Chains A and B, each alone.
Chain A
Amino acid sequence: MLLAFLLCYAGFTALCLATDRHHGELLHSKPMPGRRLGLRAAGWSLLVVAIWPAVAATGWSQGLVEWCAVLMLSALLLVLLLPYRPRLALILAGVGLLASPVAAFAIL
């Protein structure tokens, strides 16, 4: 469930950066159209890919429930972190992405 959580969190961070307002707040610039598209694609694919570790660990029925749960709560965590600790929110996504291969090996 940890890996699914890390992927969902990173995915939502990417989607968040794809919006003008949050890109401006976090990185102090407007995203280029290409970059915005890339972030959006990366975000959605991370969210979808996160289904795999959840389902692989506990089967389809429980896996999908777990995926829904981490989907909701990773977004909630991100939104609560953004106004108070914006740097931390970004760093967490980066660290999460870096750590996810390690977490993936733990499942395999």
Chain B
Amino acid sequence: MKEGFRQAMAWLHTWAGLTFGWLLFAIFLTGTLSYFNDEISHWMQPEVQAHPLDDARSLAAAQAYLQQQAPSAARWFITLPDSRDPGLSVMWQDKIDPGKRGNFIQKTLDPVTGQAVQARESMGGEFFYRFHFQLQMPHPWGRWLSTTAAMVMLVALITGIITHKKIFKDFFTFRPRKGQRSWLDGHNAVGVLVLPFHLMITYSSLVIFMSLVMPAPIAASYGNDTRAFFNDVFPATNNAPALGQPGRLLPLGPMYEQARTQWAGGHVGRLTINNPGDVNASVNVFRAGSDRVVHDFGSTVSFNGTTGELLRVSGEQSLPAAISGSFYGLHMGHFAGPVLRWLYFICGLAGTAMIGTGLVIWLGKRQLKHVKTGVMPFELRLVEVLNIASMSGLMIAIAAFFWANRLLPIGLSARSDWEVQTFFIAWGLSLLHAVLRRGRQGWVEQLSLGALLFVSIPLLNALTTSQHLGVSLARGDWAMAGFDLTCFASGVFLTWAAWKMQHRTAPQPKAVRAGSLTLEQEVN
């Protein structure tokens, strides 16, 4: 009975893992890159210079700019520069249609000169961040698909734990150079050792989208008026309407200072100014997410914009809000300093590796049966093609995205869209290539191309901008230098992988068969 249960779980683990593995690999890798969202954006918009932080100066510059450019806008948004993102971002919206996504105009300002920076048009790291939960699909569908994938991931994790017989006995075990056995060891090692992270990241992604996944409780209390629900949860978004009489907005600096004293020195992330030209203007000051692990969406201090009167200070979070906020905070890792951020990144890579090794194991185990005849049935070949395209192809696509950022002409219209299209074109071509080439050659060629593209990124950066490693290291611009060095390291890793794949010892049918019997029982 017990064995029957375990076998059923193994079956579920195998097939849930296979069907969603390719998608999950892409979600995990792009999600992992999103931990360096701001750093990637900085590399992709080298025109935005880093300055020593001075919030008072930034705030005055933003207010002066918006006053001049958008005095009659319905809302202003100001995001202050921080240690990771050097740009002062201002955004405005001319008219608000409730329930619709309005048209926003966004500019990045230089906090010292107060002028808009003529940066190249690029989505930067935001592309990976958006892709990892929207999958480049029209609005609700991408989120639905990625949430479904997260659900499947949770199932695969739990069934994986049940299937793995010797979690504690094999806790420290990794036996390299043993073919299929090493892949399984590696899959188990990154799975078990980093399991807390895997569970946290998967479960928290479901918590983040809980209003999408489980809308019933909201529907039961609020009916169809979901807007009312969000107004109750996030009271700061519920502001007084404009009166239609022109008013004069006070300087934002003192409100900023007052908000910080409310938070005992906590940092300000962004400010929203509603109806800035009206007598009923209101200013919401939002706390920076990097201050605490437990994320608080509603941590705001609101002021009347024309009198400076303190209108509202958000109270302590309720317990459910704190719980969901802590899952949100843990998933996003906004609070993480440089070292912890790198640890997050490594954990994410471990998750990606777990999915990748799982896909390789599925195929490797079934290929063994066809070693002698050398003919692969269609379904195995399909899995092989998808494995190649989803793993090495994605690496090529990511590198192509970075290359496009440097090589596309600056003045090209819809430039940032073209960057994204380059990403998908490269990915599509790698799929085509995987279809045309036989298995091993496909792997070797794609890994080599990816390696070449990544290794040469520091060189490309040196040739196309004035921010090469010599400059960025000397100036202490670690985001820029770190990006170049990380790309180089990824290239070296891909070179090693390509070399390994090229020189892989051909499987010996006899030894393999003896080993596969025991494997058969463990993997399933």
Which residues of A pack against B, CB within 8 Å?
Answer: 1, 12, 15-16, 19, 21-22, 61-62, 65-66, 68-73, 75-76, 78-80, 82-84
- Which of chain B's residues has its CB closest to A76's CB? B193
Interface string of B325-354 (1 = CB under 8 A from A): 010001000010001100110110010000
- When distances are taken between beta carbons in the complex, the residues of chain A under 8 Å from B347 are 69, 72-73
- Which of chain B's residues has its CB closest to A2's CB? B339
A65 touches B174 (CB 8 A): no
Chain B interfacial residues counted at CB < 8 A: 27
CB distance from B192 to the nearest CB of A (A): 9
B292 touches A72 (CB 8 A): no
A61 touches B193 (CB 8 A): no
- When distances are taken between beta carbons in the complex, the residues of chain B under 8 Å from A1 are 339-340
- Which of chain B's residues has its CB closest to A22's CB? B172
Known: A73-B343, A73-B346, A76-B189. A83 touches B176 (CB 8 A): yes
Known: A61-B293, A72-B347, A79-B193. A66 touches B340 (CB 8 A): yes
Q: How far is the CA of A82 from the CA of B186 in the complex (A)?
A: 13
Q: List 18 A-B contacts (CB under 8 A).
A: A15-B171, A15-B172, A19-B169, A21-B173, A61-B294, A61-B326, A66-B343, A69-B343, A69-B344, A72-B195, A72-B196, A73-B346, A73-B347, A79-B174, A80-B189, A82-B172, A82-B174, A83-B175
Q: How far is the CA of A62 from the CA of B341 in the complex (A)?
A: 12
The DSSP consensus for interface residues of chain B is helix
Query: Is B424 part of the binding interface, using a Cβ–Cβ cutoff of 8 Å?
Result: no
Q: How far is the CA of A13 from the CA of B93 in the complex (A)?
A: 58
CB distance from A30 to the nearest CB of B (A): 16
Q: How far is the CA of A63 from the CA of B182 in the complex (A)?
A: 34
- Which of chain A's residues has its CB closest to B177's CB? A83
Choose from B169, B173, B193, B340 the contact partner of A72 (Cβ within 8 Å): B193
Query: Is B197 part of the binding interface, using a Cβ–Cβ cutoff of 8 Å?
Result: yes
Q: How far is the CA of A69 from the CA of B200 in the complex (A)?
A: 12
Q: How many A-B residue pairs have CB under 8 A?
A: 64
- When distances are taken between beta carbons in the complex, the residues of chain A under 8 Å from B330 are 65
Q: How far is the CA of A54 from the CA of B33 in the complex (A)?
A: 26
Interface string of B180-219 (1 = CB under 8 A from A): 0000000001100111110000000000000000000000
A76 touches B350 (CB 8 A): yes
A75 touches B175 (CB 8 A): no
Q: Which of A21, A73, A79, A82 has most B Cβ within 10 Å?
A: A79
Q: Which of A12, A70, A75, A78 has most B Cβ within 10 Å?
A: A75
Known: A61-B293, A65-B340, A69-B343. A78 touches B196 (CB 8 A): no
Choose from A16, A61, A66 the contact partner of B172 (Cβ within 8 Å): A16
CB distance from B233 to the nearest CB of A (A): 22
- When distances are taken between beta carbons in the complex, the residues of chain B under 8 Å from A19 are 169, 172
- When distances are taken between beta carbons in the complex, the residues of chain B under 8 Å from A61 are 292-294, 326
Known: A62-B335, A65-B340, A79-B189. A72 touches B174 (CB 8 A): no
Q: How far is the CA of A96 from the CA of B247 in the complex (A)?
A: 64
CB distance from A67 to the nearest CB of B (A): 11
